[in-house]
Structure formats: C-alpha cells, structure tokens
C-alpha cells in the first residue's frame, strides 16, 4: 500500500524527497549523456555515417532535455522520457545501423 502525502511509508523505508529525486535524475541523465557520447565516438571510429550521428545526437539531446525537465521539477516525465528515449535509440542502433 502506498503512503499518502506527508506520511512515512509503512515498511519503515524512507522515500526520496523531491529534491533528492531531481538530483538523482540529473545525475543519471548526465551519466547517460557521457555514455552516449562515448558510444558515438566508438561508432564513428568504426564507420562514419550521418545516421550514426543522428541516432546518438538525438540521444544526447534527449539527455539534455531530461536534465532540464528534472531541474524544473518534472522528474516523473523525465524518467519516462529517459527510459523510453534511450531504449528507442538503442533499438534504432540495433535495427537501422549495419
């Protein structure tokens, strides 16, 4: 059962505060941005393609958008966007790039 607003969770575990959740999302998006940049460099070293730059460039932009959303308090939207967007970028890499 989920705790109501302002109440402690029943299991004794503390939930993250909104500020902590924002910082976690910003850190996660920053790490993913660095990882996508590293993968972009590796993929460009093996083959130069506009499609590679497009897929990983979109993933980098997505990470930046998630950081801004988290800074403005939209952590749930940012979490979903980060998860779905990076999964789509990896799927596009697997399906579209030879």
pTM score: 0.72
Cα torsion through 38, 43, 44, 50, rounded to 10: -110
Binning pLDDT at 50, 70 and 90, where does residue 47 land?
confident
Residue 4 has pLDDT above 70, yes or no: no
pLDDT digits (tens, 9 = 90+) for 10-45: 566 788 788 888 888 889 889 989 998 998 888 888
Q: pLDDT tens for residues 52-84?
A: 888 888 889 988 998 888 888 888 888 899 899
Q: With cut-offs at 50, 70 and 90, classify the pLDDT of residue 1.
A: very low
Distance of CA 52 to the CA centre of its chain: 19
Instruction: For the beta carbon of residue 35, count every other beta carbon within 10 angstroms.
Output: 13
Question: Six-digit token pair at 64?
Answer: 């930046």
What average pLDDT does the segment 46-52 reach? Answer: 81
d(CA 36, CA 89): 10
């Amino acid at each position: 059962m989920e705790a109501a607003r302002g109440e402690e969770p029943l299991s004794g575990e503390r939930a993250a505060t909104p500020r902590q959740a924002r910082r976690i999302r910003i850190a996660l998006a920053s790490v993913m941005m660095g990882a996508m940049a590293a993968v972009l460099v590796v993929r460009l070293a093996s083959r130069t393609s506009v499609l590679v730059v497009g897929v990983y460039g979109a993933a980098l932009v997505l990470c930046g958008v998630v950081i801004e959303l988290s800074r403005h308090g939209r952590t749930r939207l940012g979490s979903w966007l980060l998860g779905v967007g990076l999964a789509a970028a990896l799927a596009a890499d697997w399906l579209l790039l030879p």
